[in-house]
Structure 1
């Protein structure tokens, strides 16, 4: 459903990004997923080359989270879920403690508790804590709540709230 809903963005953005970036409109990068297995994450390109400044168009795509839409293809391929801990870089894997590694007990997600509870305003520790809260309280009800809060934030270009969602009422044993 997400891919079908985002299809108009693909139709409009692909040619625009192809021209804007003089070639491939996608950004691809290796990330660890379920059980730390590596996969290639897809995003719309937001900067020229690797590590150069984000363009104005790229900034708009990031602010609106439209750059994340190609990840629906990662969901279809089974590498990601709609909801789960955001996949980080593989270079961070050796830095995780045993508890933090548990974030890889579920598929990584396009959105998660950290994204709706402060996103980039959170410290790494707070993000990891929210990832573990999600893993410990996995349930369809929690996923639905995160999806609705994400949709609200994206539709109204509202950055995530500062209040942390209490996931305990959603505790369950469902899998993603």
Structure 2
């Protein structure tokens, strides 16, 4: 009942209120990005949503456009400025994604939308994370975020898909606020953000056995 008839209304209401209240912050951050990083202010990237349908995720830009002698973008840790890191640590870079919630691309709570290139790398079980709308925050984000292994993140995503409740969503929302306040789990132990997901050998073997 909650997932089918109330969750979407709740998403629209919360996203609308948040955009209204936070509009002065959004304006100031946009101006600062323009001054410190130049244009564009927003970073748009294709991400798979519910049922794998691709949409454009909207975020504040946190990296420079610095490139090497071959014209290739430098690694994330070379382009992520202290200012950009501050935006990420406070999750301010995620605020424009509230627009995606109003559009119906995202929910407040759900599995985080990852890269389109990961779609063919998921196991059958891992693909179930796309049975629902992705979220601005999710169960994995309040249980370790980028410090979790990919397998642990996907296990939590699928667990959420199977256990969506009103109280569960609000628990995740409050835990997210606490995590943002602590600035916890922004980076993995070996990367500025999170290492690329290349697939799981264990899951591939399990999928082969199930065919």
Of the three residues 145, 163, 166, the one matched with 1:137 is 163
Local SS of the residue matching 1:60: helix
What value does the CA root-mean-square deviation take over the aligned residues? Answer: 1.2
**Cross-structure match for 2:153:** 127
Question: Which residue in 1 is equivalent to 2:184?
Answer: 159
State the Cα deviation string for residues 128-159 of structure 1 (Å, max 9, x = none).
000011000011111111001111222x2341
What displacement does 1:51 show?
4.9
1:47 aligns with 2:72: no
Residue in 2 that maps onto 1:165:
none
Distance (Å, rounded) in 1 between the aligned partners of 2:20 and 2:27: 11
Equivalent pair of 2:89/2:183 in contact (CA under 8 Å): no
Aligned length: 159
Give runs of aligned pairs for residues 22-61 of structure 1, distance below 5 A. 22-49=38-65, 50-51=73-74, 53-61=79-87
Pairs within 5 Å for 1:1-176: 1-49=17-65, 50-51=73-74, 53-154=79-180, 156-159=181-184
Instruction: List gaps (5 residues or longer) in structure 1.
Output: 161-176
SS in 2 for 1:146: helix
Per-residue CA distance 1:28-74 (angstroms, 9 max, x = gap):
10000000000000111000125551011100001111111011000
Taking the aligned partners of 1:86 and 1:118, their CA distance within structure 2 comes to 13
Inter-partner Cα distance in structure 2 for 1:82 and 1:98: 25
Q: Distance in 2 between matches of 1:152 and 1:5?
A: 19
Higher Cα radius of gyration: 2
> Per the alignment, do residues 85 and 51 of structure 1 end up closer, same or farther by CA in structure 2, a change over 3 Å counting?
farther
- Structure 1, residues 75-116: CA drift from partner, whole Å, max 9, x if none? 011100010000000100001111111100110001001100
Q: Which runs of 4+ in 1 moved over 3 A?
A: none
1:12 aligned counterpart, secondary structure: helix
Question: Counterparts of 1:5 and 1:159 in 2: how far apart (Å)?
Answer: 24
TM-score, normalised by the number of residues in structure 2: 0.72
Please report how far the alpha carbon of residue 8 of structure 1 lies from its aligned counterpart in structure 2 after TM superposition. 2.2
